[in-house]
């Protein structure tokens, strides 16, 4: 292998969960990997571990940044172990592999955890559920030692890990490995034969410095308060975030710019620092600046924003806005307009999480703005969603595209989700009544969820009128025996609302005995109690002598509890609107 070449990557594995497009480059370390949920959780835990270990080279151990990163490492590693069990990683020079998925990739040796493990001989490392906080902290201490000094004379990682006596961490290792890229000292024989060029120091290099006749005495002058303040401000804690953003800008615009992938990875590290320091204003400025610098390469800009505007960053950006703000800052809007479609998914999740919270209106406006030019993306997401997220999406679709929202409500009328069906009913209640909406309302009346059926009955009756009366009658006669009292009452009111005179005739056919003479007098009531309740509910609000006669029939021959309710209805009718007896 040539000295300047990277060692070959492990052979690509054909797997439908992790296959990359032909010619695609592997993502940088700070970009989340795709793949199975286990791989994504492992990637998050490993990134948190490496950031925590490297933080000791930048900050004092008591710094709040270090504490935050350590807490993030503990939470993500515990989550990965609790959710998926053992985490066993194969160690390659620049990758860590879980099963058949690459879960960590970093080609920069100074930053790479996999390179340090591989260099010291570790070929497999495993983490088991039940790993204690003391073990996690000890592992972090060992890795931070190897990050702070590449050529110190400390023990290698294999020795340090074995000395630690972990119960829930295991390793498989070989004797230490020295990559060919690191040049060893030439053999002494080559030096003696003169085959290797040597550079000698001057013969008197270690003697005292000679005195110079032109030397002048050292004089001190006082430094004014203004200069001291300027010096302090350059190193002040509040100035560091701006300096970090400026460093990214200088790298992006430097002549002969360094490797773009490395610069963007550094920009993502700066974002992490700004989030920890709660400098959200600088986060938006950093994203805007990088996007502008990448205008000549739109694909690279979109890929960067996809990584930059993850759910955590967007949540922090939104949390920094006042809930009553009509429009977000221009910098934020510029980022949102340029963001890929996946960013809108994060906004939808934030909106679902916010519920009826104070920032819901602002989040709603942001999502509507983002989907304004791509309603089909919202429709596609709606078809894949469930629960509260689907409800939020259907509401958003009504603001983006009314016709698409109506089609979505019709589709949602058959969903196995009560909340989504209720939202579909809300939108169908205001739509024009036609065969398509009529079918959708009928689906809701036949829903498996009682609250949906009870809510849909009056909407169907008011919108359809006489046209839906036969369907309501068939529903009542089919389900009255099994429905609850509240649904039976809703059925009676819906029948009376749809077509009053037909409802009276139907109630009479249910309640009046079909045979005359002595047999007719002996039959108390032709209708079963369920249909009696439906009829009683419809008759309560009905006017006229025929309705009164049917109530009297119920009071005289109905089921006991319904007879008492019929008597109360007759009494209320006799008292009239003023409450006095007529």
Q: Name the percent of the chain lying above pLDDT 90.
A: 11
Indicate the average pLDDT of the chain.
Answer: 77
Whole-number Å distance between alpha carbons of 280 and 275: 6
406 vs 408: CA distance, rounded Å: 5
Query: Does residue 412 fall inside a structural domain?
Result: no
Q: Do 266 and 144 share a domain, yes or no?
A: no
Beta bridge partner(s), residue 102: 97
CA distances from 343 to 20, 37, 288, 337 (A): 21, 20, 15, 10
Q: For residues 375 and 115, give the distance between their C-alpha atoms in angstroms, rounded to a whole number.
A: 46
- Res 28 pLDDT > 50: no
Of 341, 359, 391, which one is at a domain's C-terminal end? 341
Is the same domain home to 48 and 149? yes
Q: Does residue 162 sit in the same domain as residue 43? A: yes
Residue 29 has pLDDT above 70, yes or no: no
Domain contains 449: no
Confidence of residue 191 (pLDDT cuts 50, 70, 90): very low
Q: Outline where DSSP puts E strands in 68-179.
A: 87-91, 95-98, 101-105, 122-127, 169-173
Note the pLDDT of residue 475: 87
> Regarding predicted confidence, which is higher, 107 or 61?
107
pLDDT of residue 110: 79
DSSP string across 141-171? HHHHHHHH-SS-SS--HHHHHHHHT-SSEEE
The model's confidence at residue 202, banded by pLDDT at 50, 70 and 90, is low
Question: pLDDT digit string (tens) for 459-502?
Answer: 998 988 889 899 888 888 888 778 888 888 888 898 988 888 89
Q: Does the pLDDT value for residue 433 go beyond 70? A: yes
* Res 531: pLDDT: 84
What does the pLDDT read at residue 96? 93
Tell me which long-range contacts 181-189 makes (C-beta under 8 A, separation of at least 24). Answer: 181/3, 181/4, 183/3
Question: What is the DSSP annotation of 489-515?
Answer: HHHHHHHHHH-HHHHHHHHHHHHS-SS
Residue pair 252/293 in contact by the 8 Å Cβ criterion: yes
Higher-pLDDT residue of 191 and 252 is 252
User: 14 or 159: whose pLDDT is higher?
Assistant: 159
Does 407 reside within a domain? no
The pLDDT of residue 209:
67
Residue 104 belongs to a domain: yes
What's the domain count of the chain? 3
pLDDT category at 154 given cuts 50, 70, 90 is low
In angstroms, the CA 293 to CA 260 distance is 11
Structural domain includes residue 157: yes
Q: For residues 556-575, give the mean pLDDT.
A: 84
In this structure, the answer to whether residues 44 and 169 fall within a common structural domain is yes
Give pLDDT, residue 84. 92
Q: How confident is the model at residue 372 (pLDDT cuts 50, 70, 90)?
A: low
Within a domain: residue 19? Answer: no
pLDDT at res. 124: 93
Q: What integer pLDDT is reported at residue 203 of this predicted model?
A: 58
Average pLDDT over residues 267-281: 85
| CA gap 58, 66 in Å, rounded | 9
Reduced to 3 states (helix: H, G, I; strand: E, B; else coil), residue 55 is helix
Helix, coil or strand: residue 581: coil
Cβ-proximal residues to 530 (8 Å cutoff; 6+ apart), any chain: 480, 481, 482, 483, 488
Backbone phi, psi, residue 96, to 5°: -115, 130
Angle (nearest 5°) at CA 561 between 535 and 533:
15
Per-residue confidence (pLDDT) for residue 341, from 0 to 100: 64
Instruction: Quote the distance between the C-alpha of residue 521 and its chain's center.
Output: 69
> Is the per-residue pLDDT at 512 higher than 70?
yes
Query: What is the average per-residue pLDDT within 422-432?
Result: 87
Residue 510, pLDDT above cutoff 80: yes
- C-alpha 304/C-alpha 307 separation (Å) is 5
Average pLDDT, integer, range 436-458: 90
- Whether 338 has a pLDDT exceeding 80, the answer reads no
pLDDT > 50? residue 6: no
Per-residue model confidence (pLDDT) at position 193: 47
**Domain extent at residue 336:** 240-341
* H helix intervals, 446-544: 450-464, 469-479, 485-498, 500-511, 517-522, 529-540
- The answer as to whether 334 is a domain residue is yes
Which residues are bridge partners to 105 per DSSP?
95
pLDDT at position 81: 93
Residue 152 above 60 pLDDT? no
- Average pLDDT of span 79-91: 93
Q: Quick: pLDDT tens for 529-564.
A: 888 888 888 888 888 888 888 888 888 887 888 888
Confidence of residue 127 (pLDDT cuts 50, 70, 90): very high
Question: What size, in residues, is the chain?
Answer: 582
d(CA 155, CA 548): 99
Strand 87-91 versus strand 95-98 pairing type: antiparallel
Q: Which of 87, 122, 111 is nearest to 101 (CA)?
A: 87
Confidence of residue 277 (pLDDT cuts 50, 70, 90): confident
User: Would you say 532 and 559 are in contact if contact means Cβ atoms under 8 Å apart?
Assistant: yes
In a domain, 84, yes or no: yes
The residue out of 173, 200, 230 marking a domain boundary is: 173
For residue 159, the model assigns a pLDDT of 85
The residue out of 124, 148, 173 marking a domain boundary is 173
Residue 526 confidence class, pLDDT cut points 50, 70, 90: low
CA 186 to CA 67: how far, in whole Å?
A: 45
Distances (CA, A) of 307 to 28, 45, 54, 310, 407: 10, 17, 21, 6, 33
Residue 148: predicted pLDDT: 57
- What CA–CA distances, in Å, run from 180 to 93, 94, 315, 481? 12, 14, 45, 84
Average pLDDT for 77-83? 92
What number of other Cβ atoms are within 10 A of residue 550's Cβ? Answer: 23
More confident residue, 430 or 376: 430
Residue 580: its pLDDT value, please? 45
Residue 192: what pLDDT?
Answer: 43
**pLDDT for res 218:** 77
Most confident of 58-67, 143-152, 546-555: 546-555
Same domain, 168 and 65: yes
Neighbours of 515 (CB within 10 A): 11
């Amino acid at each position: 292998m040539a000295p300047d070449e990277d060692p070959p990557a492990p052979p690509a594995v054909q797997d439908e969960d992790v296959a990359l497009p032909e010619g695609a480059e592997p993502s940088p370390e700070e970009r989340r990997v795709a793949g199975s949920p286990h791989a994504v959780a492992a990637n998050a835990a490993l990134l948190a571990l490496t950031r925590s270990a490297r933080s000791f080279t930048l900050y004092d151990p008591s710094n709040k940044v270090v504490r935050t990163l350590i807490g993030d490492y503990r939470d993500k590693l515990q989550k990965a172990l609790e959710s998926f069990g053992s985490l066993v990683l194969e160690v390659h020079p620049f990758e860590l592999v879980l099963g058949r998925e690459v879960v960590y990739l970093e080609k920069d040796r100074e930053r790479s955890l996999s390179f340090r493990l591989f260099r010291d001989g570790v070929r497999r490392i495993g983490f088991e559920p039940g790993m204690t906080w003391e073990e996690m902290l000890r592992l972090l201490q060992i890795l931070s030692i190897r990050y702070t000094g590449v050529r110190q004379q400390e023990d290698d990682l294999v020795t340090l890990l074995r000395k630690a006596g972990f119960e829930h961490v295991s390793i498989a290792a070989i004797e230490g490995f020295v990559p060919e890229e690191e040049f060893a000292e030439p053999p002494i024989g080559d030096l003696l034969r003169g085959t290797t060029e040597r550079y000698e120091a001057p013969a008197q290099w270690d003697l005292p410095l000679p005195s110079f006749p032109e030397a002048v005495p050292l004089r001190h002058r006082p430094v004014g308060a203004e200069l001291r303040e300027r010096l302090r401000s350059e190193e002040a804690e509040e100035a560091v975030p701006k300096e970090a953003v400026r460093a990214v800008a200088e790298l992006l615009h430097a002549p002969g710019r360094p490797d773009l992938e490395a610069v963007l990875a550094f920009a993502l590290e700066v974002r992490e620092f700004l989030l920890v320091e709660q400098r959200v204003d600088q986060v938006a400025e950093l994203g805007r600046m990088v996007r502008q610098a990448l205008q000549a390469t739109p694909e690279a800009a979109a890929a960067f924003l996809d990584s930059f505007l993850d759910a955590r960053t967007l949540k922090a950006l939104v949390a920094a806005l006042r809930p009553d703000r009509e429009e977000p800052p221009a910098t934020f809007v510029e980022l949102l307009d340029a963001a890929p479609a996946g960013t809108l998914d994060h906004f939808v999740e934030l909106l679902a999480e916010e519920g009826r919270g104070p920032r819901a209106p602002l989040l709603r406006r942001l999502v509507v703005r983002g989907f304004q030019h791509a309603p089909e993306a919202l429709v596609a997401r709606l078809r894949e969603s469930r629960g509260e997220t689907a409800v939020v999406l259907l509401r958003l679709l009504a603001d983006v595209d009314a016709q698409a929202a109506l089609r979505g409500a019709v589709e949602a009328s058959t969903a196995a989700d009560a909340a989504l069906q209720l939202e579909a009913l809300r939108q169908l209640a205001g739509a024009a009544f036609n065969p398509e909406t009529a079918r959708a309302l009928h689906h809701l009346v036949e829903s498996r969820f009682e609250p949906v059926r009870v809510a849909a009955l009056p909407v169907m009756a008011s919108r359809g009128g006489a046209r839906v009366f036969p369907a309501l009658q068939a529903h009542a006669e089919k389900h009255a025996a099994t429905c609850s009292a509240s649904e039976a009452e809703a059925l009676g009111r819906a029948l009376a609302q749809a077509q009053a005179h037909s409802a009276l005739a139907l109630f009479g056919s249910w309640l009046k005995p079909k045979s005359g003479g002595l047999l007719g007098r002996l039959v108390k009531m032709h209708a079963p109690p369920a249909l009696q309740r439906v009829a009683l509910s419809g008759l309560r609000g009905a006017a006229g002598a025929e309705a009164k006669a049917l109530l009297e029939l119920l009071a005289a021959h109905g089921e006991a509890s319904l007879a008492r309710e019929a008597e109360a209805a007759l009494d209320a009718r006799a008292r009239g609107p003023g409450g006095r007896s007529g």
